[in-house]
Amino acid sequence: MSNLDPAPEAIALMPDVGLPGIHSAADVLEARKAAIGDGTEVRRLLPQRTLRTVGAWCFLDHYGPDDVSIGSGMRVPPHPHIGLQTVSWLFEGLVLHRDSLGSRQLIRPGELNLMTAGQGIAHSEESAAGRPAALHGLQLWIALPEQDRFIEPRFAQHADLPVVREGGAQVTVVIGEHRGERSPAEVFTPLAGLEVAVPGGDDFVLPVREDFEHAVIAVDGSAVVAGALVAPGLLAHLGAGLSEIRLSPAGGRRHARFFVLGGAPFGERLLMWWNFVGRSGQEIAHAREDWVAGRFGDVRGYPGEPLAAPPLPSIPLKPR
C-alpha cells in the first residue's frame, strides 16, 4: 500500500530516547485520516510525532470495514518501495497483490502476505473480482536494518499460520513467536505481530517479552488495553519492561479482536519519505529518480497507470 499524500513529509525515525509522554503504562495515541487509491479512507496510526516506530514497525494503516460491493473498491496503482518489508493483513475481504517480481496473489483474511522490498520493488493492490462486500484490514511496514536493507527483493505468502488457543481466546502468530509457536515469516529484527481474539467476560492476559515495546489496536470496536479504553482510530503504546498486557472487551461486548505489535527498540536513525525508508536525503532522491526513470520494473496486469512520484520537499532531507 502506498502513501498517497501529494506532498509527503520527510519523517526522521529516530531511536527512542525518552520522548515526552511515552512511558511503560499504556499511552493512547490518535490516528490521522489519510486516503489511498480511489478514496479509500485509512486511519494512519504510525508514524506519529510522538511515536515514530514500535521496534522496527514504522508504518501502520487500519482501514475499514468498508462496503466495496459498489464501484471499484480499493485501487492502489503500482508504486515503489525500498528499505522495508510490507505486511498485508485482512480481517474481511479480498485484495489482489501484483508486483514487479511477477507475483500475483490474492490476500485473504487470516493469511499473511509479506513483501521484502530490499534494494527495490514495485507493487499494486486492488479489490479483486468476486470479492465480498466488506473490506477491513491492516497495512504495515517494517524497516530493514542496515545490514539487510539492500538484499534482493522477495515475496512470500503464508496461508497456514500457527494459532494458540488459551481458554476462549485465540492468538494467531502472524510475525514472531508466542508460547513456543513461531510464524514462518522471515523478518530481520526481533519482532512480534499477533491477532488476538478475546471472548467477553474475563480479561485476557497476554504474556509478552519484557525487552519489547508494544502497540495495540482494537479491531472491531471499543476495548480495554492495559486499563486504557481504545477504539478503532486509537493506538495504545506500552514501553519495554512489561511481562504481560491485559486485554478485554468494553461496554458489555461479547468479544473483541486486537492486533498487537512488538519489537526490540530499533536503534538506527532512519529517514522515511513517500514509500521509501532510507538513511539520507541523497538515497531517497536517488530512489525517486529510479522510479521516474522506470528502473523499478513493471507490475504487469494492473489496469491503470503507475503512481506518479510527488515532488521532493524543498528543504534538505536528513535525519534529525
Residue 22's pLDDT band (boundaries 50, 70, 90)?
Answer: very low
| Domain-embedded: residue 280 | no
Look up the pTM and report it: 0.90
User: Does a cis peptide bond (omega within 30 degrees of 0) precede residue 47?
Assistant: yes
Q: Give domain status of residue 1, yes or no.
A: no
Task: Note the pLDDT of residue 73.
Answer: 87
In a domain, 308, yes or no: no
- Listed in sequence order, the DSSP H helices in the chain are 281-292
Residue 313 within any structural domain of the chain: no
Q: Which domain holds residue 161?
A: 20-263
130 located within any domain:
yes
Please calculate the CA angle 149-154-160 and round it to the nearest 5 degrees: 120
> Is 136 part of any domain?
yes
Consecutive H or E run containing 90? strand 84-92
Give per-residue pLDDT as tens, 179-194.
Answer: 999 999 999 999 999 9
Confidence tier at 21 by pLDDT (50, 70, 90): very low
The total domain count for the chain is 1
- For 26-59, how does the pLDDT look when each residue is reduced to its tens digit (9 = 90+)? 899 999 998 776 667 899 999 999 999 999 999 9
Q: Average per-residue pLDDT in the chain?
A: 90
Is residue 270 included in any domain, yes or no?
Answer: no
On whether residue 305 sits in a domain, the answer given is no
Task: For residue 145, give the CATH number of its domain.
Answer: 2.60.120.10
Q: How confident is the model at residue 200 (pLDDT cuts 50, 70, 90)?
A: confident
Three-class DSSP category at 67: strand
